[in-house]
Structure 1
Amino acid sequence: MFLRYQDGQFDIPDRTFHSMQTSWLLSSQRSSTDVKELIPEFFYLPEFMTNYEGFNFGKRHTKEPVMDLNLPAWCHHNSRLFVLILRQSLENQLVSTHLHSWINLVFGFQQQGLAAKEAVNIFHPAVNILWTGGEQYRG
Structure 2
Amino acid sequence: MSEQTKHTPLSLLTPYSADISVRFKVVDLLVQVKLPAHTPKQHRVAEFLVGDESGIAIVQAKDDQIDRLVVGETFVMSHARAKMYDGYLRLVSDPFQVESIALETPLEIQTQTDASSVLWEYGTPIQ
Q: What's the TM-score once normalised by structure 1's chain length?
A: 0.23
Structure with greater helix share of residues: 1
Work out which of the two has the higher radius of gyration on C-alpha atoms and give 1 or 2. 1
Give me the TM-score of the superposition, normalised by structure 2.
Answer: 0.24
